[in-house]
Every structure is written in C-alpha cells, then in structure tokens.
A and B are shown apart, each in its own frame.
Chain A
Amino acid sequence: MTSQVMEEGAPLRRRAFLASFTKNFLPAVPFVLIFGFFFLFPIARLIYVSFLSNDNNFTLSNFRTAIQEPYRTGFINSIKIGVFSAAIAAFPGALAAYFIETRGNSKLRRTIAVMSGVLANTGGVPLAFMFYAALGIQGQLTKILKYLGWDLYSGTFSLGSFVGLLIVYSYFQLPLMIIVFSPAIVSLRREWSEAARNLGANQFNYWIRIGIPLLFPSFMACSLLLFASGFSAYATANALTVGNLPLTPLQIGGLLDGNVSAAQLNLGKALGVVMIVISACAVIPYLAIQRRSAKWQKR
C-alpha cells in the first residue's frame, strides 16, 4: 500500500515540477540565455580577469596601478567632465522640458522627443565632426563669434580641450536631460497646482512647498544619469582630443587597441571595473529614485 503511493508520488512530483517550471521559468529562458551570455558573462569575466596578474594569479596590483598616474588624472578628468557637463545641462534641460511638456501641444512634444533621441543617442562621431566644422579655427560660428568680438582661439582653447569637450558634450547632455526629466514633469498633476491656488498659495508658495519638493528628487536623479553619461562618453572625445586630455575611457581604448602598452596585461580591465563602480554610484541612485517617484503616479 505504502510503496504503491510512493511509486506514484515520484512521477507526479516530477510532473508538478515540470509544470511549475514551464509556467514560471521556461518563457524567460531565451532572454536569460542571451542576456546572460552577451552581457552578464562578459562583465563577470571582466571583473574576474581584473584580479589576475600576467601569469594568472590573484593580485590587486592592477587596481594599484589603476589609481596611480597617469590613470589617476584620467579618472579625475573624467569625473570632472561628468560633473561639469551634467551641471551645465541639467537646469536648462529641466526648464526646457517643463515648458515643452506643460505648454506644448502633442505634435511639438513628440517632435522634440524624437530630435532629443537622435541627438542624445546617435550623436557621437558625427557630432564631433559637426563641431569641428562649426567651432574649429575655420568654422563659421568661430568667425561669427570673432566678428562679435569674441575670439575663441585667442587663448588656449581647442575643441579637444576640457572646455571644448564641455561645449560639445552639452549637445547630447541637454537633449538627454529633456528626455529623462520629461516623465517627472508629466507626473506633476495639474490638480496639485490648482489645489494649492485654491487653498491660498500664490505661484511662489506653490513652487516652494509643492512643485520643487516634488521635482527635486527626479532632478537630482536625472543629473546623476547625466554625470554617468558624460563620465563614460568615448566616441566624441576620441574624435576630438589628440592625446592632450587624459580621460579614462580613452585610456582604456588605448590599452585595448594595443596603441599603449602597459606592463600589466590586465590593467585595462581594472580601469574598466573602477569605471563600472563609479558609474554604478550614480546610476543606481538614479534608478532607485525613479522607482520611488513612480509610486506617486499610480495613486
């Protein structure tokens, strides 16, 4: 009696397991496989290899080198350009997003969204050449500015300098801010400003007590994302600088190409891991704040 039940129990349990697997996990398999192989695996391997010495023993020396010169300056410059380019673009971008979302009609909003998307995503190299043409020594914009009494090239300015890159970066940072900050504006309900007015608040009081407190977390979050974007930008910097401005992404690119040789084979991997850590410090808070403010929108 007992043995019969047990004999039947095993296949039943197996079938139940199969059914539950099919229902709960099977459809995720293609996604997990592809994502795992093409993303998680390379990142895991990158981290693993960054701890290996030239003869494949565990070591921290890659990281020790990574935080010394010239790589230390690379990190400082990259962080600086991330911070400054975010600081320059965040407020104007937020303001533009506010006016476009609250006063623009649907066609305008969609057109701006598309244009911002193109500028923020497909910028890169074409952007660099565009600025070379516009603000290079022979550029028309340079001539116009000179005519207006501002000679860009009277000092040490070049597009490959820190200031030059800041100008070019703002060209994708500002659209990026418009894209990522717009949802926060949309989630600001008209009822809130109307309720505030009804309760006796003038415009100033509404912004101080309600509007700014509601938008501020998103604003900070989006600024963090902009930092990460400026910090890790490669294409534009690669096309415009000529080795005069050490930036971590360019240093990694140089090591990867073999243009620069280092005593430690896995130094580039360690630099990559440090970049991931810095970038994560900005992007993870961004994601967390976005998720938290999504709660208000639901109810």
Chain B
Amino acid sequence: MAKAIRMKLLPPLALTLLLLGLFVFVPMLSAFEYSIRTPATGGYGWTHYHWAISEEDFFHYIFRSTWLSGVTVLITLLILVPTLVWIHLSDSKIRGIIDGLSLLPLVIPVVAFAVGAQISFPEFVQNTVLELPFLYFVLALPYAYRSLDIGLNSIPLKTLSEAARSAGANWLRTIISVIIPVIRGSVMATIALTFALSLGEYTLTVLLHWDTFPTWVTYVAQDNILGAIAISMMSLIIPFIILTAVTLVIPERNMQGRK
C-alpha cells in the first residue's frame, strides 16, 4: 500500500535510479569504509592503499594485465574488422556460418573451455603467456563481433568502399581511413568491451596457471585480506570512472537516433 503511494509521488525513473543506486553503492561504500579502517589505531586511513601501491607486484601485474589486454584488443580488431568488412561486402554464403560461430563461445562455460584449453595446445603455445590474448579474444568474440556487425550494418558500406576504391585507395587504406572512422562509435565500444573483459578475466587465467592482476589479488588475500579489499575497490572503481568518462565524451552515432 505504502509502496503504491510512493510510486505516485516519485516518477518511476527516479525511483528506479534510487533503488539501483542503493543496490550498487551501499555495498560498495560499505566495502570502501572497510578498506580504509586501520586496525592498529582504530581510526581511518589510507594504510592499505599505500601498502598496495608500494608493493612491487602491484605495478608489475597492472602492467602485465594491461599489455595482455592491449594485445587482445589488437588481435580482435586485426581479425574482426577485415573479416567483417569482407563478409558484409561479398554477401558470401559463409556469412551465416561465421555469424553462428561467433556466438558459440556464449554456449560454452568458461570452466569447460579452460579444461579443453589445458589438454589441447602444444607446449610451445602453453609455455607462452601470449596464449592468453588469443583465448581472451575468443571470450570477447560474441560481444565484439556483434558490436562491429551493428556498426557496419548502419552504414552504406558498399557505396563508401566503392567510392574510396574508385578514388584510388587500396583495401588497406579504405579500411583504415574510410571505414574505421565512419564506424568509430562501434569500434570504440568494441575496444572498451574487449579491454575490460581481458583486464578482469579470472577463471580461464587461474585455471591455466597464469598470473595476472586479478589472480594476484586472490593471492594477496591469503596474507592480507584488507590489502586485497583495497585493491579490489580500486579495480572496480577505476574502470567505472574511466569508461564512463570515455563514453560520455564520444559523440553518439547519429544513425541510431530514436524517434
């Protein structure tokens, strides 16, 4: 009853945002409060954050996770952009097949994929950390593929590439200086998504016995739970802020206007 009355007083959107805000930020702030407790003095301080960033491993693993994610983004773009452009242009019969393949990773639980990966690759693959970006590429594929596909669907790709080709550009130039700028919205979305997913990937990484930033956090937690919580807070809040800032700065594609 009381709820019904409040529904009338509060516009539904405001109510939704309020509840979502409580849902997201109450545990987060509460965890933040925990992470700035200093048991030694009984007060508050940045002790655990100081501890975290003074650890040599902190930057070591941030650096490692970042470059692995960077490589993943690179692989994703290098493979997907040309393949998708070609698929859209040629109307090839295998478009349906590739569309379907790209969704397949959604079907497979990451744990099962990790088991498969562990028993399949030859040693020279298993022995290099560079296997991770390729596996992250697979995990991000359903999202990355869809995002680029939507971008390419919303532009007159055939006309654009024919115009660029007849103006003397080769395929590489056409893709780099014509197509990518036109779909930069969905390219940026793909980059953000792939990067975020690789940066936070835990299951596959830990089951294949690699160390990255997320797995290091669990390792830290064994000795210093407060430090691990401080690190977790940073690794949740920092991407929040960066990605929000980035999306708000990128202009919205005018193609997706809603009436």
Contact = CB atoms under 8 A, between A and B. Distances in A.
B109 A276 contact: yes
A152 interface: no
A248 to B, nearest CB: 8
B93 A24 contact: yes
Contacts of A269: 115-116, 119
A44 to B, nearest CB: 8
Main secondary structure of the interface of A (DSSP, over half): helix
Contact of A127 (B16, B98, B111, B236): B236
Interface string A224-258: 01001001101100110000000011001100110
A10 B196 CA distance: 53
B115 A283 contact: no
Best-surrounded residue of A119, A248, A257, A275 (most CB of chain B within 10 A): A275
B34 A100 contact: no
A130 B232 contact: yes
B124 interface: no
Contact of A249 (B109, B118, B137): B109
Interface string B86-126: 11001011100010010111111111111111111100000
Interface string B192-212: 110011011011001100000
Contact of A133 (B31, B94, B110, B199): B31
Contacts of B155: none
A28 B98 contact: yes
A252 B83 contact: no
B240 A115 contact: yes
Contact of A139 (B31, B101, B121): B31
Contact of A283 (B106, B118, B248): B106
Contacts of A275: 109, 111-112
A285 B24 CA distance: 30
Contact of B105 (A30, A39, A190): A39
B247 A42 contact: no
B126 to A, nearest CB: 11
Interface in A78-114: 95-96, 99-100, 103-104, 106-107, 110-114
Contacts of B112: 43, 46, 232, 252, 272-273, 275-276, 279
Contacts of B228: 129
Interface in B149-206: 192-193, 196-197, 199-200, 202-203, 206
Given A100-B13, A118-B239, A124 B119 contact: no
A24 B87 CA distance: 9
A121 B135 CA distance: 16
Contact of A100 (B16, B193, B214): B16
A253 B248 contact: no
Interface string B230-259: 011101100110011001100010000011
A107 B239 contact: no
A45 interface: yes
A280 B107 contact: yes
A222 interface: no
B199 A122 contact: yes
A252 B229 contact: no
A167 to B, nearest CB: 9
Given A49-B119, A118-B196, A140-B33, A38 B28 contact: no
Interface in A140-195: 140-141, 144, 171, 174, 186, 190
Interface string B132-156: 0011011001000000000000000
Interface of A: 23-25, 27-28, 30-32, 34-35, 38-39, 41-43, 45-46, 49, 95-96, 99-100, 103-104, 106-107, 110-115, 117-119, 121-136, 138-141, 144, 171, 174, 186, 190, 225, 228, 231-232, 234-235, 238-239, 248-249, 252-253, 256-257, 268-269, 272-273, 275-276, 279-280, 283-284, 287
22 contacts: A25-B92, A27-B87, A27-B90, A110-B247, A115-B240, A121-B197, A121-B200, A122-B199, A126-B231, A129-B225, A130-B27, A130-B28, A135-B27, A138-B34, A228-B106, A231-B109, A234-B203, A248-B111, A252-B112, A269-B116, A279-B108, A284-B107
Interface of B: 11-13, 15-17, 19-20, 23-24, 26-31, 33-35, 75, 79-80, 82-83, 86-87, 90, 92-94, 98, 101, 103-121, 131, 134-135, 137-138, 141, 192-193, 196-197, 199-200, 202-203, 206-207, 214, 217-218, 221, 225, 228-229, 231-233, 235-236, 239-240, 243-244, 247-248, 252, 258-259
Given A23-B90, A34-B134, A132-B225, 16 more contacts: A28-B86, A30-B83, A31-B79, A34-B137, A42-B120, A100-B17, A115-B240, A126-B200, A129-B225, A141-B30, A228-B109, A232-B109, A249-B203, A257-B207, A272-B111, A284-B107
